[in-house]
Structure 1
Amino acid sequence: MEADGDLARAARDGDVAAFAALAERHRAAMRVTAIGELGYTDEVDDAVQDAMISAFRQVASLREPEAAGAWLRAITRNVCRMRVRTRIPAPVADPEPWMSPAEGPDELLDRAGTRDWVWHAIARLSDPIREVMLLRYFTGMSSYAQISQLCGIGVDTVGSRLRDGRRILALTLRETAGAAFEAADAEAAALRREAEQHFAVIHTGGYDRIIDDWFRPDFSVVFMGWLHGDRAAAREMIDRTMGAGVTATLHDAVGSRNVVLWEGDFHNPSSDPDHCPPRFAWLLRMREGRVARLGVAYGQTPRV
């Protein structure tokens, strides 16, 4: 596996596949950063996508390639804090500790290979989505209010079109990267299999053994931001939930080094339809191959 620094240097020189592999490697950590800043809300996905696009535009100015992971998290953090301040996203500021003053973000777009990728991706968008994406990311008229006025649409519509555009661009980036994602895809599949196995065992009532084997003796669980307890507390939390007739299904499992994030949906029994919120996230921090800490968060909005 190539080191972060090697991928970042290649990405800085205009290698789209290298950037795609680097971004995929740190996607879980970026999501964790976004959840920490925004809570477990629907804004998290949009914030991570915004950060990915901002990072892609700025990678030519990355000063310390070995610090690429911290740089991606810093961009994510800045995006999220802007959302918290305004609840309407604005272009993210450059994270100065990792940026070179000699180069600007737009220089990457002037390099032929990357420019071709950008315009190929933009060309796949419908006209209404393309115009808001161009204004947002490639012009000085980038605020939601300015785009709303220029396009003659509401601010909410600006937001929804940007969300669609970001997802299409992310898909195009993945397709462009091609083989660069093979290792990441294999790792993602392994993470998902492991998560599915865990939830299958939870539903059979045999999770005690996994807690003893897989959770470290000094394990701690943090529930909705508050230190909640040890392995016994985790066992009690799971037993109480499953004992009430609640079931859980996995939605996604992503990981980056010693950080693993599981997201899923709760299904409450008809006799107690409000027992659990509709969505949950488990953040697993690993140490020496075992879980050292479990963070638990709930989402109140059902997944659509």
Structure 2
Amino acid sequence: MTASTLIVETDLLCRLRAGDEDAFALFVRQHTGRMLILARGFLHCEDDAADAVQDAFLSAFKSLGRFEGNSSLGTWLHRIVVDTCLMKIRSKSRRKTYSIEELLPTFDEAGHHAQPVAPWSESGYERMANTETKAQVRQCINQLPEDYRTVLVMRDIEEFDTDQTAALLGLNPGAVKTRLHRARQALRTLLNPYMSDELVDQA
């Protein structure tokens, strides 16, 4: 953050804490678009995402007194939006979820896959562009354990880099890389029935 940006943000924070309505409106305008994109990545529903962002702003306003300034206001709000989305997912989640161990590939003593791995076909990749398949991908992502799903969404959907993701989730970069790698492996396991012609033909 540059010195000029820091001055502007400090002034905005003081106005927010003083209850300045114009400052509240400015803060909402500055961040609503990005926060909606972030929330959609978790909730996949426009109404749910909008509700989550609204709840996150309310929570942020109520928590301004506890904001310590260790990050930018935008980064702090990102964390609140993520937490709000995860709470909404937990509150309405009755879907089947898996442990990460169930979804990771297993290997024999020689280092080969214990179970045959069907290659993803060209037509499988083409199916990825279909609306129906995109919905299946979202369903598969939602079946990942929460800690891994969150990292996958932030890195591969919202396109945060490793350091940004680590800062927002309170993890070290190494942990983010490990979770992302395992989440991608697990997602591939869940997607195999939709991406392999061999498996599709057997279904």
Could you say which TM-score interval applies, normalised by the shorter chain? 0.3 to 0.5
Structure having the larger proportion of residues in strand: 1
